[in-house]
Structure formats: C-alpha cells, structure tokens
Structure 1
Amino acid sequence: MPSSNKQTKYIIVSGGVISGIGKGIIASSTGLLLKTLGLTVTSIKIDPYLNIDAGTLSPLDHGEVFVLDDGGEVDLDLGNYERYLNVTLTRDNNITTGKIYREVIDKERRGDYLGKTVQVVPHITNAIQDWVERVAGVPTSENGRVPDVCIVELGGTVGDIESAPFIEAMRQFQFRVGHDNFCLIHVSLVPVVGAVGEQKTKPTQASVRDLRGLGLSPDILACRSALPFEEGIREKLSMFCQVSPKQVFSVHDCESLYHVPILLRQQGMIDVLTERLKLDNLTYTPEMRVEGDSLWAQWREFARRRARDLDQTTIAIVGKYTYLTDSYISVVKALEHAALNVNRKIKINWVEGSDLEESTMHKDPLKYHEAWQHMCGADGILVPGGFGERGVEGKILAAKWAREHNIPYLGICLGMQVAVIDFARHICGITDAHSAEFRESCANPVVIFMPEIDKATMGGTMRLGSRPTKFLDTEFSKNSKMRRLYGNVDEVHERHRHRYEVNPEVVAELESKGLHFIGRDADTGERMEILELENHPYYVAAQYHPEYLTRPLGPSPMFLGLLLAASGQLEAYLNGEDVSNDTDTKLKM
C-alpha cells in the first residue's frame, strides 16, 4: 500500500477544436487503466458555467442531470466516472464557476481577505487549486485509501473565455504539486476531409499552440478521429506539437466505448503514464496487483461480449427528450450493462410520449402510427423519469399497453407515477385520476406534491440522493420478482430525484385490485418506493432512479429483470438456472 504521506498524482484532461469530443470517456478510460495497476483513483469534473450545479439545466442544453449519493446534481460525466471506476463520488467532485465564485464571495463578506482587493488572480485561481487538492485528499468509499491519482477533466474547449480562470489555475497548479505529479492529456480532433478522406492535423496543431500560449504543454495527445492514424500522422503531430510519437494516441471510432481502454492500453498508455508520473515509485502489495489483473480480465470479457453477434432484445423507451439521447444516458448504459450480462444485444426504439397521443394522430398520422409501431414491436417498455406535462398522456398509454398485453414494463420515477395513474383510471374506475404536478385542481390526485419540498425554489430542493427503501413483510413482497432480483434483502439504498409521490390515501384501493407497493421508505413506511403488478410477467416501477447505480460488471437488478423478462429468461433465472450461453461466464442467482 502506498505510504500515507505520498503525494497524489494529478492527470488533467483538456479539450481542443470542438466541444463534445469525448474528454469524459478518455478521462474515465485512463482512470480504469490506472485501477488495473491496483491504484486508487478519483475524478473531478470542472464545468465553467455559472450555475451552482446542473440541477436547473435543461437536458436539451446539457444532457442528463446525474445524481450522487449525497444528493449532488452534477454533470453526466460523473456518471461515466462512477461506472468506469466503480467509485462513489460526492458533489464536491463537480466544480463549477458558480461554486468557486460563491465560496470566494462568502469569504470576502466574512472579511477573510483582510481588506485586500479580491481578484481572479490570485483569489479565484487559488480557490480552484485548493478545492482540487481538498477533494483529492479525501479517502475513497471504495477502500478507505487516499487516492493515488486524481483525474481532473476541464470542461469546455481551450480558448473559451469562461474556461480561462481554470486554465490559469492549472498552469499554477503544475508548479504547486511538482513536475513528477502533474500530467496533461489534451484531447483534440483529427478530422477526415476531402474526397479521398485525408486526415488533417492543423486543428490539433492550432489547439496545442493555444494551450501552450496559456502556459500549459500537453504530455499526451489523445486524437479523436473516425479512422486510425494514416501513415505519418503520428510523426507529424509529434513534430509540430512537441511531444514524443509514443505520447500521441489514436482514439478512433471502435466497436463501443467499452473498447476505448483497450485501445489506449494497446498503444502503450500505461507505460507512458508510468514513466511520466513515476508510478513505479509507488509501493504495491501483491493483493493490489491481483485485484488490478482481475479487473482487467473482467473488463476485456465485458467488451468482448459487446463486439459479439448476440441475440437482440428490443426495448422501447417512451420519453420526452428522445431526440437527444444524452438526456437518458444512464438509462441507456443501464440497459447495455444488463443486456451484456445476459448475453443479449440491446436495441432501443426511441418513442416520443406525445407522439402516442390522439392529438398527434390528427396532426401527423404518420408520426402517430410510427410511434405505436415502435412501441408495439418492442420486447419490453421503459418509461424513464422526467418533468413537465408534455407527453404524459402518451406515457400513461404506454403503461396501459404493457399492462394489458403482458409486455415487460419498467417505470422510473415519473414512469412509476404514470403506471399508478393508468391503474387508477382503468382498473379502479377513478376516471379523472391524475397527478397534482399537471392538474393542481384535480379532484382525485393519485400523485401529490411532497409536503416537505420548497415550491418556491427550483435548484437543489427536491428529494435527492441515496435513501433506504424497505421491503414489506407481506406474502406477496417476500415472493415478488423484484425482491428476488435484489437478492432477497430486506432493504436497498437507491438514489432519488423527485418532488411528487404516490398519494398514500389511494394505496389501499390500488393494492386491493392487484397493484402492490412492495417497497416503502424506511423512515416512515408511508412513501411508496417500489410497485409490482400481480399476474404479470414483469411489471415493476420505482420512485427512485436505479440507473444511477448501474455498473458494467454489476448491472442494476431492475434493469436486469427487464432484460431477462424481455428475452424470456426471467423465470429460469429466478429459479437459479444458468441463463448464459457463454462458456466463459455464467450468470446465476
């Protein structure tokens, strides 16, 4: 085990040419490779926007809002970090301009600066550096060790005005921590243009020149391109960007994102990092080496499955932002993880909830019929979380279709609430049943606003973070599919993000007709958390978001159940039978 007084190593990941180039995947993949050495790794994401957190950002503007155990609403890249590194991060692992400026201004108001003029340099830049060091020094929940390596992703693109304080902070930081403890990976674009598909290096050269002009020199170039490097491209980049050829990596399109760590390792990333950061000076135990080797073997097997020609299972996701799939990135990853762990390839039919509604049939019949065709042709249906009224009636219709036609169904957050609305309307005869979120004056609200939530303030006021859910001690609950998928435990901890809940006053009537609330909050027992429909192949829903805790090598039980049911393997799995046709890996209870 590395000594307690060791200096943490820092890897900074910056981006050039264009945004959305894949810095998060490079950062996550690099962290995974370091973990295969037995090292403890943590990650920080820097977002240069003024928002305090991602909680009030539209998914269309910034992708999914990811929720952490401590209730932090953060950038979706932190989801990548948790999934790849199998770590539990906190809200402090996401730095925003808003957080930094708030901290500095609070200090100024208290008089901490003793009358000095507060400026970007040194006060803001010092606050950034102090924050990074503070987070990097926190022992991980994974093994209780202080991280050996902290990976810091700089959001945005080099040259952006809003990123300037963070770039300057990292320029200073390299001297604070020392040359052997600081490594900069610059992720850039090598576009393929022209009729013959020639790769162009000029954009990367210009990006590196800008970066060097700001006082930072890249140690590693990770070059995104549709194709592997042509002959001479690596040498050309090396010459004009002042890095060794072995420090230039081709990160071309491959089978899947799970192959990126393999791609980097094949090109010598571990050797370059070991040499640059003097990782050989760290002390390793045999247990750390064995743990790292085991992780790499599991990851390669998982990526191998992704590349195989597996049987396909189709899941319809009925949502509100389906034209921007980053809005549901954790749901997509959870489906992928579950599918690959049962040797299936996932195909997603994206269905806009509003397209299922009768009003669309009158305005655009083709769109209406296509939406229903996509949903009806799926092996399973999933309604994810969301806010706002648009498409809600379509989601209710999706829940109704799954219930009536014995199609495996998984509802998450709003997906649970629409399942309750459908059941109340069409089974319990409460024809005007609705949610108070969409009908404040509704006479029969089966979904209500939680009394403890602040209606006036939007950011950070929902029921957020990890909360315990206790399974009921009833005959149905004990034998329920959902409880068995969770391993017959009494209590589970999952992450929440909601303002509305199922009305406790209607629960008895719903359960009398066969909709069972088998899991409730552990604190009061009056907040409905998990429902399961009797006499159905798989009709379950949760108020929490199980997708936030999915891992490539540890899929979420709720998603695993959906894939097993949709592929006709659930009963065999629940009975303890081997449901894998893979000779290397067997999936059993």
Structure 2
Amino acid sequence: MHVSSIKIDPYLNVDAGTMNPKEHGEVFVLSDGGEVDLDLGNYERYLNITLTRENNITTGKIYQHVIEKERRGDYLGKTVQVVPHITDAIQAWIERVSKIPVDDTNEEPDVCIVELGGTVGDIESMPFVEALTQLRHRAGKNNFLNIHVSYVPTINGEQKTKPTQHAVKSVRSAGLIPDLIACRCERPLERSTIEKIAHHCQVEVEQVVAVRDMPTIYQVPVLLEEQGLIPLLREAFKIQGDAIPAAMVRKGAKIWRQWKSLTVTQDHYYEQVNVALVGKYIELHDSYLSVIKSLEHSAMRCRRKLNLIWVDAEHLEPATRQSDPAKFHKAWHEVCTASGVLVPGGFGQRGTEGMMAAAKWARDNRTPYLGVCLGMQVAVIEYARTMCGITDATSEEFNAKANDKVIVFMPEIDKATLGGTMRLGLRPTVFQAGSEWSRLRALYNNAPEVLERHRHRYEVNPEYIERLEQAGLTFIGKDEEGKRMEIVELKDHPYFVGVQYHPEYLSRVLDPSRPYLGFVAASAGCLEQVTADLLSDGIDSPVNGVNGAADKGKHF
C-alpha cells in the first residue's frame, strides 16, 4: 500500500537546522531543502519515499502558524487558546500532509504513520496528545490505530512491567487508548511478562508485541512479521485481501524477498570491510546516522560485514601528539590499517587539519577515500598545499582574512541568519566532458547528470580550479551552470572521490548511494564487479519511490 509518515517533535525549534549534532543527532535534509529530525531519514530509507519539510511537525511550527493566523485576524477577535486552536491546527496539519503523495506513483497515501516523540507526561507533548485523541474520534472506527512504545527493562534477570503499566495508565487517562503495545527489550519477553502486561494494560495477549534487540535493525521487520503484526493491522483497519491490486501484491512480495535476502543472511557474511570514519562529532554516533546507514546499505550489497572504526580527527593532529601520544598513535594506527578512509560533513575549523592529514595519507597510499561536503573541501585544500605549492591554502570558514582561500563563502548565502539559509535540497550535478573514465560516473550508470541533496555554505573557489586541475585534481561534476564544483576525483587512484553534496540522504536499504557503494566496494576490493553488476542490471542512480496502490481510504 501507499504509506506516508509524519514525525512530531514537541520542541520549540521551528526545525532541526540550528541544532548541535552532538546534542540532537544528525540534521536530515529533504529534497525540498527542509532540515528535519533524523527520524525522517529512517522513514525514507525504510519506505523508499520522498517526504517534505511539512512531514516534520514541531511545537515551534504549530505556534508560529497559529500566531500568524491571529495576527492576520483569521480568528475574528476570538481568544486564541491551546484548546481548541492549537489542537485544531495540529489535526488539520496531519490530515492535510497525510494526503500528499510521497512515492513515484504520485497517488495519495493509504496509510499515514504518525510518530509522537517525547515521553508520556511531558508538558510539551500534552497539546499533541489531546489533538491525537480528538483525531482518533474524527477518523472513525477502523481508521485509527494507536501503538504505544514502552521499554521493558531487565533488572537482576527479572523483566519489569511496572514502567509500561504506569505509562499506559497515563496515556489512557489522557484519552489516547493503546491498540497495540510495542515492548522494547534486550531479549525475548517471557510468556508470563506478556500476559502480565496484557492483563494490567487491558489489551489482549496478541496485542503485545516484543521488539527485542536484533543483530541489525534491518531484521526488525522480519521479527514483527513473525509475531503476527500484519494480521493485526489488517484486522484493525478491516483491509480485505482483494482490496489491494494484484500488481501491488506482487510488487510487495518481490520487495520483501529482496529485503530478507539482504538482511536475514547478514550474520553469515564472514569477510569484513574496515572503514575509518574521521570526524569531529564522534562522541554521539547519531551525528552521522545517515552516513552509517549508507555504509551499511553498501556493505550488505557487497556481501560484507561492516567494521566501522571511529577516529576523532583532532587525535590525528600534532597537538595531540604532544599532549596525548597514546591517542595520537592509536588514531593513526586505525587510519593506516583501515581498508578505506571516510571524512564526512561538518562545520568549523576544529579537527580539519587532522582530516587533511587523513586525506593525504589515503591519497599517497592509494587507500580508497570518500570526502563528503567538508570532507571534499579539506581534500581540495590539502591537494592545493601539497601538489600546487599553495602552502597557506585554507577555507574562508577557517580564516576569513587569509590570502589563499581555496574554499570560499557562497556569495548568495545570508551571513546573518543561520536557520534555513544554506544551499539546501535536491539539485542537479552535471558530469563534465572527458569524464568517461570516472569510476563514480560508471556507478551512476554513466548518466549525464544526477540529482542529489545539498547542505552547505562554502564551495571551491573558482579562481583556483585551473591550477588544481593542472596538478591532476579533476572536477568531473559541476552544477548546471558549470560554476560550482560538485565532484572531484583522482584519475590514477583506486578510489579517491570528493562530493560537495550529501549522497547519504538518498541511500536506501535496497538501493545504496552510489558514492558510498563505490567507496565500500573499493575498500572491499570488489569495485569492478559491483560496477559491472549495476550496469548489467540497468539500475539507475538512487531514486525515491517504489510502492504504489489505488487510494482505499486513509489510516492513521
């Protein structure tokens, strides 16, 4: 069926764009340029859909919307209150956005999954709980299903149900009655635990689903299927077998076979590929969530087990060698022994000298390298210093007064306002004449251009392009006007690629991002085979839509 998704975040920020990755995790960028919660990336990856910024609702967005209406006089002088004006605005937003097509069929979704973030009892979540309680009544019978997610801890070997009992009691008292209870747990729930939860939370035993830890997150759908989630959903929504077109049934079955083929057998991949991620936010791995997922998708496609090695970029710098030699030597050992080196995006100067050192090592030692956004920029700066003799080459982001700014601030970007002012969203990259040798272009099926998502304020300075290319650094991809450098690649290297865009945002479980797939394949020593397989399959560059079905009504 057509499935859409909405994430509700109760914080006051209008969007996630200005949040520190180390506090909130990755900022995910959508095709329309929306900077949203990282969960929307999970929705797109799992459902193979393309969402909009309106699929992420925040308290800030709702209040901003209502206040703008009040200022225009839309409420005709009435006293504007949380109930009914805020709660009505939430319901109207959900109902409107749930009808927006999200897949390649351009048909209205049949089902919309709404995730309300936060914890039961939070003050900031109360208007949303009230709104969803009202929406349940408005949607009508067989059109609304509430799944309550709760953690079941194990203490001294005993599975404790009290936290779930209290949480369900609280949410029931607010009027949002659970139809299913999804219990997060480290190990399978005992039968007595399930029965206890069902009894005290006033649901049937079949309505308690144990979502235990799995070897990989990609195996969770299989776990849910084994527990009978599909029949429960069919019964709840009264979906008859003949309500879904036969073509859709066949398509769904094919996708499910592919999914299980890639994920269920993952435990049996004994050969691993070692990738060093050299970053600056590694204290919180969620800062690079889409990067991690892209590497996982690519490793599964290459039939390898990913061994991701986290390297703090600052530990590669001479200052660390003086202050903490053990950290310095450990970091360099991890880089030097890795099969591939990845430098992802980021902001600010901290750790960039370490990133440049890692890029230089990969270039000199013919180790596969992928630089994304900042990772591409530091590779260009390092090349300018080492191969072009521009010893003081730097970025305007690092030193605005420097003479040799190889990376500059994009002229049209607002320097005063931070939120939503970067170059954002889906934009074309055109492969240049003479780039037929490119390994990356071959992975894109030799397409003349590709569409990828962007999030940056800085770019390669056009004034230095000629000198860099004369020294051997080739900019094989540029924007549609030929002014912005989008892809850089070294010709005589196993895989040395830098991309200004963020290809991880379009990576899918069954359709990995091409730059990441090439990087992992090169690191695993199977790039030629993977490229040949892609060309023989006729698979295009990453796309966003798969599922499609006739509109049969809306389910929440």
Q: TM-score, normalised by structure 1?
A: 0.90
Post-superposition shift, 1:108?
A: 0.2
SS of match in other structure, 1:108: helix
Q: 1:385, 1:415 within 8 Å by CA — same for their partners in 2? A: yes
Number of the residue aligned with 2:25:
63
The residue number in structure 2 matching 1:42 is 4
SS of residue in 2 equivalent to 1:348: strand
Query: What is the deviation of 1:288?
Result: 1.0
Matched with 1:147 is 109
Amino acid at match of 2:59: T
- TM superposition shift of 1:305: 3.1
Paired position in structure 2 for 1:525: 482
| Pairing 1:78–2:40 present | yes
Compared with structure 1, are the counterparts of its residues 158 and 282 closer, same or farther at alpha carbon in structure 2 (3 Å cutoff)? farther
Q: Deviations 1:536-562 (Å, cap 9, x if unpaired)? A: 110001000000000010001101111
Q: Counterpart in 2 of 1:223?
A: 183
Match of 2:471 among 509, 513, 517: 513
Deviation at 1:231, TM superposition (A): 3.0
1:287 match: 247
Q: Does 1:478 align with 2:436?
A: yes
CA RMSD of aligned residues (A): 1.7
Q: Does residue 174 of the first structure (1) align with residue 133 of the second (2)?
A: no
1:105 aligned residue: 67
2:89 & 2:335 partners in 1: Cα distance?
A: 50
- Asked whether the 8 Å contact 2:87–2:127 carries over to 1, the reply is yes
- The aligned runs of 1:297-308 (5 Å cut-off) are 297-308=257-268
Instruction: Describe how 1:94-243 pairs up with structure 2 within 5 A.
Output: 94-194=56-156, 197-243=157-203
Letter in 2 for 1:224: R
| Paired position in structure 2 for 1:92 | 54
Question: Equivalents in 1 of 2:201, 2:11: separation in Å?
Answer: 29
Q: Paired residue for 1:554?
A: 511
Q: Choose which of 462, 466, 479 in structure 1 pairs with 2:422.
A: 462
1:578 to 1:532, Cα distance in 2 relative to 1, 3 A: closer
Match of 1:376, as an amino acid?
A: C
Residue 549 of structure 1 aligns to which amino acid in structure 2? L
Q: CA deviation at 1:407?
A: 0.5
Higher RCO, 1 or 2 (CA under 8 Å, sep at least 6)?
2
Structure 1 distance, partners of 2:177, 2:511, is 38
Counterpart of 2:393 in structure 1 is: 433
Cα 1:232–1:579 change in 2 (3 A) is farther
Give the match's secondary structure for 2:498. Answer: strand
* C-alpha separation in 2, matches of 1:44 and 1:143: 19
Deviations 1:187-233 (A, max 9, x none): 00110001xx1101011000000001111110000001111011311
Match of 1:494 in 2: 452
Distance 2:331 2:404 in 1: 30
Aligned AA (1:557)? R
- Unaligned runs of at least 5 residues, structure 1: 1-38
- Against the structure 1 CA distance between its residues 46 and 282, is the aligned structure 2 distance closer, same or farther, given a 3 Å change threshold? farther
1:577, 1:588 within 8 Å by CA — same for their partners in 2?
no
Q: Structure 2: where are the runs of 5+ without partners?
A: 542-556
Cα distance in structure 2, aligned partners of 1:527 and 1:282: 52
| SS of aligned partner of 1:181 | coil
Counterpart of 1:311 in structure 2 is 271
Residue 378 (structure 2) aligned to one of 418, 423, 428? 418
Q: Is residue 251 of structure 1 aligned with residue 211 of structure 2?
A: yes
Identity %: 57
Please give the residue correspondences for 1:571-582 in structure 2 after superposition, counting only pairs within 5 Å: 571-574=528-531, 576=532
Write out the 4+ residue segments of structure 1 that deviate beyond 6 Å after TM superposition. 577-580, 585-589
How far apart are 1:578 and its partner, in Å? 9.6
Does the aligned pair in 1 maintain the 2:367–2:495 contact within 8 Å?
yes
Matched-pair contact (CA < 8 Å) for 1:100–1:128: yes
Residue 145 of structure 1: SS of its match in structure 2?
coil
User: Residues of 1 paired with 2:433 and 2:20: CA distance?
Assistant: 40
How many residues in Structure 1 have an aligned counterpart in Structure 2?
541
